[in-house]
Amino acid sequence: MSASAEIDAWLLDQQLKPEQPFTANGSGRQPLILAARQGRADVLGYLLQQGADLSVIDAYGNNALWAACFAEAYDCIALLLEAGIDIDYQNPSGATALTYSSSSGRHAVVAQLLEAGANPLLTTQDDFSALDLAATRQCLQLLRNAVKARA
Domain count, the chain: 2
Q: In this structure, are 47 and 110 located in the same domain? A: no
Q: Whole domain around residue 54: which residue ranges?
A: 1-86
Distance of alpha carbon 1 from alpha carbon 6, whole angstroms: 6
Residue-wise pLDDT for 2-47, tens only, equals 558 899 999 999 999 888 888 989 889 999 999 999 999 999 999 9
Cα dihedral value 107, 111, 114, 115, nearest 10: -170
Q: In this structure, are 99 and 49 located in the same domain? A: no
Q: In this structure, are 119 and 63 located in the same domain? A: no
Q: In this structure, are 57 and 34 located in the same domain? A: yes
Mean pLDDT of 85-92: 98
Q: In this structure, are 128 and 71 located in the same domain? A: no
Q: In this structure, are 139 and 65 located in the same domain? A: no
Residue-wise pLDDT for 98-114, tens only, equals 999 999 999 999 999 99
Q: Which amino acid is at 121?
A: L
* Residue 123, strand partner residues: 129
